[in-house]
Structure 1
Amino acid sequence: MFARGFRVLRRLSLPVLALVFLAAMLPTPTTAVAASGSKYGDARLDQWSSLTTHNSYADSGALPPRNQSRSISKQLDDGVRGLMIDTYDIAYDAEGNHDVMMCHSTFKCFGTFSGGLITVVEFLKAHPEEVVTIFLENYASRATLTEAVSSVLEGENAKDLLFSPNQYDIDKRNWPRLRDMVSDNRRLVVLQDKWGEDVPVKSGDGSKEYGRLMYTWARTVETLYDYDGRPSGCASRNSNPVGQNPMPGTALTPLFTMNQFDSSVLNPEAKAPGDNGSALKNRIDKDCRPAAGRYPNYVAVNFYEKSDSGSTTPMSVVNELNRNAHVFPPHPALWTVTPNKQFIGQTYETTAPNRCMVRGEDFPDGSGGVMTQRACASPAPSSQQWTVPLPPYDSQNYYWIKAGNGYCLTVPWNLGVPPGNGMQLFWWPCESRWASDNQLWEVMPAEQYGGRRATYFINRWTGKCLTLDPATTGGKAGKVTQDVCPTR
């Protein structure tokens, strides 16, 4: 009665998600091919990762040595979304007129900050779903810096673009969702390290505030950048440990910058390939994720296009972080798995709260039965308890979902034709003599807005997901079906 043939699938590994109660019950998740959909899902700013360039402006010259080989414009086109810029108040002509300049110390400057900022603003205007963060190591005066930012915003007709922490009350409510920042057009995030407060940027006459240059050390944590060799460990560069969360006296999760460069070397271009390949990925997985309890939001590198590890580049590493950290909107195929082995549907907390997957009534011939949903019971009866073991044969990292009576969650055979959306599922004897694709499930971790952990389960045969049927949640016993999976 079952599909018996293996289908050869390429498998992509995914780091084990640190779920305290789920670890003993669910298998190590694997990666599925990302489907089309919202770029950010419900991720907040602190739940997204951006490739960031160190000394983003320093793309030419030998003394001091350059840190990049491509312009800021090219960096943005290539996917860089974080820029580190040093700003100085420098006289630029014989009359002593001053401007804010982008300089690698006062020894060498690379143009005006206004020019660099215009490049960023024009990019954001041309790409209305992108968000860019600028980190300023600032030596300019408050007046000249805020005037430079204000003039660019006014001249580019982008007065609403600068992020405003007060608009979102971030100290009490945490960072906003990226999709809300996009909707509000608050897509330019600027941090400065000179003044111990968020600095308003106002119109020329002072009547309107456009946004704020946020104080770096009240909003972020950051690793060292002097290593005397290959970047390693995850020590903080100041008194804020990288695992600090939230920031003291607030509800704010700090943005986390991981510096993957050594600022003391004389030839950063020669050193960058070794820093940017497998060493980068290994440091995130083995050092910084354990130390911080999360992935870095900003991965800062020199010469981002260089790597000694083939397909592993800073951009590919950041893309993988975002695939794995995708935050999902509510969806009927997302489940919470509790310590008492109940599968609770996550979507219906207000319209039909506390609905659990249930081993429903038997078929008349006693061969199995139908899958249903009911109100979750406490203590959990056997009919509401499920485990996720590996079958006794080589299932290629697909899993059973096994009922308390030892039977397996099964997609109906349907005369060998994969059924479509809405098909009610069965519980049926587990097929242990061969691979039965309609009893095999891929286990995928997920996170929802607010930090709630979830899981979705993809059937190997149909490619569809275990679903709490929305149309029948109001009844005493609704259906558990297969349907469209959440999109990443």
Structure 2
Amino acid sequence: MGLHVITHVLIIIASFSISTAKILDRCSTSNQDCGGLDSGLYCFSCVTDDSKCVRSSATNQFKLVNDSLPFNKYGFLTTHNAFAIDHEPSRTRIPRITPKNQEDSITDQLKNGVRGLMLDVYDFKDDIWLCHSFGGHCHDITAFEPLVDTLKEIEAFLSSNPSEIVTIILEDYVDTPNGLTNLFRDTGLMKYWFPVASMPKNGEDWPLVSDMVAKNQRLIVFTSVESKEKSEGIAYQWNYMVENQYGDDGMDAGKCFNREESSVLSDTRKSLVLVNYFRSIPIKPLACIQNSDGLFNMLQTCHDAAANRWANFVAVDYYKRSNGGGTFRATDLLNGELLCNCNDVHACVSGSTVACNS
């Protein structure tokens, strides 16, 4: 048998073994054991577990089912402190001493199906930076990078993916007049801007996703500063969204209540629901346990507290870490319940063999 024939046979065998990799199959710490980068799986080990194939990307509900419903009828994976990325070099040249919440770049987060980004923005060094605060201010030891760099990553993603919608939720400490809108304009993001005037304020449905895409209104931005809705055209978050308590207080099993800034979760005058599920101090080794049964149970608890509404955004730390389906399975649950009253969006597909459990 010639070398080229042997090589061809080995490729076929390898392709077959790759294509049969499943969630929770054992792996030898190599992503190739789970099908490689394009399989939607990667090899990972929780603290006390053997290495297994776990999910690495979210289901695109629009491609799987449809995009013809209002925006508030879908669920989206959201990264808490999306900018606070582990192992990123200090941009101030001073060692960073502050918590990290994610492992991937913004580009990779978006590539893997994250569609909501929580960003903390501050005036710093005559610019606007992404930062954790200490005493209410950004410092060299808590700063990550200028906001403009992250906005450029988001613009590149929206440009390359013309049917995708991204939501930015700003914890906003910027006092510079028009500082944020100038950055959105300078990075080319205003051409994707979803206008405040089109946002429902009394619990009505949002526009259809298909219409938002057709109009290229694919960037939704919220701020925590009320005055900026009028002064800069950035939507004030609490006019449109309810949100549960974040941090340790928001992780007690069986309890789901609003954070101080939000109205009560049952306030149906707000069309969007955000569920936080992350520790006050992120602990990376425990994230895969955290992004498991407790998360699913909290989504149900918050559904009941929010007048029987499923979350549109679920915000987590270390979003890829799980002992199986993790946060990606959580958004499959949300979209399944929102789209067809099943606990898995794959069951919503006509002719699907996935059981519709609810």
Q: Same fold (TM over 0.5)?
A: yes
Relative to its length, the structure with more strand (as a share) is: 1
Q: Does 1:314 align with 2:327?
A: yes
Q: Does 1:290 align with 2:295?
A: no
Aligned equivalents of 1:182, 1:163: Cα separation in 2: 10
1:198-237 mapped onto 2 (5 Å cutoff): 198-199=229-230, 201=232, 212-227=233-248, 230-232=251-253, 233-237=255-259
Q: Which residue of 2 aligns with 1:240?
A: 263
Paired residue secondary structure (2:191): coil
Paired residue secondary structure (2:234): strand
Shift of 1:278: 1.3
Q: Is the CA contact 1:54–1:302 (under 8 Å) kept in the aligned structure 2?
A: yes
Structure 1 gaps of 5+ residues are 1-33, 92-97, 202-211, 248-252, 328-443, 446-455, 465-488
1:247-262 mapped onto 2 (5 Å cutoff): 247=270, 253=271, 255-262=272-279
Shift of 1:143: 2.2
Measured at CA, do residues 99 and 326 of structure 1 come closer, stay the same or move farther in structure 2, by a change above 3 Å? same
Q: Is the CA contact 2:84–2:102 (under 8 Å) kept in the aligned structure 1?
A: yes
Shift of 1:65: 1.9
- Residue correspondences, number: 269
Shift of 1:229: 8.4
TM-score by length of 1: 0.51
Shift of 1:40: 3.7
Q: Is the CA contact 2:247–2:277 (under 8 Å) kept in the aligned structure 1?
A: no
Q: Which residue of 2 aligns with 1:424?
A: none
Aligned equivalents of 2:334, 2:179: Cα separation in 1: 37
Aligned equivalents of 1:177, 1:110: Cα separation in 2: 36
Q: Which residue of 2 aligns with 1:271?
A: 286
Q: Which residue of 2 aligns with 1:373?
A: none
Paired residue secondary structure (2:201): helix
Shift of 1:101: 0.5
Q: Is the CA contact 2:274–2:313 (under 8 Å) kept in the aligned structure 1?
A: yes
Shift of 1:118: 1.1
Relative to its length, the structure with more helix (as a share) is: 2
Paired residue secondary structure (1:134): strand
Q: Which residue of 1 aligns with 2:337?
A: 324
Q: Is the CA contact 2:250–2:277 (under 8 Å) kept in the aligned structure 1?
A: no
Q: Which residue of 1 aligns with 2:53?
A: none
Q: Which residue of 2 aligns with 1:110?
A: 144
Measured at CA, do residues 242 and 119 of structure 1 come closer, stay the same or move farther in structure 2, by a change above 3 Å? same
RMSD (CA atoms): 2.8
Q: Percent identity?
A: 30
Aligned equivalents of 1:197, 1:295: Cα separation in 2: 29
Measured at CA, do residues 40 and 215 of structure 1 come closer, stay the same or move farther in structure 2, by a change above 3 Å? farther
Letter matched to residue 111 of structure 1: E
Q: Which one of the candidate residues 225, 231, 234 is aligned to 1:194?
A: 225
1:120-135 mapped onto 2 (5 Å cutoff): 120-135=154-169
Q: Which residue of 1 aligns with 2:201?
A: 171
Structure having greater relative contact order (Cα 8 Å, sep ≥ 6) = 2
Aligned equivalents of 2:287, 2:63: Cα separation in 1: 34
Q: Which has the larger radius of gyration?
A: 1
Q: Which residue of 2 aligns with 1:7?
A: none
Aligned equivalents of 1:37, 1:134: Cα separation in 2: 22
Paired residue secondary structure (2:192): coil
Measured at CA, do residues 295 and 303 of structure 1 come closer, stay the same or move farther in structure 2, by a change above 3 Å? same
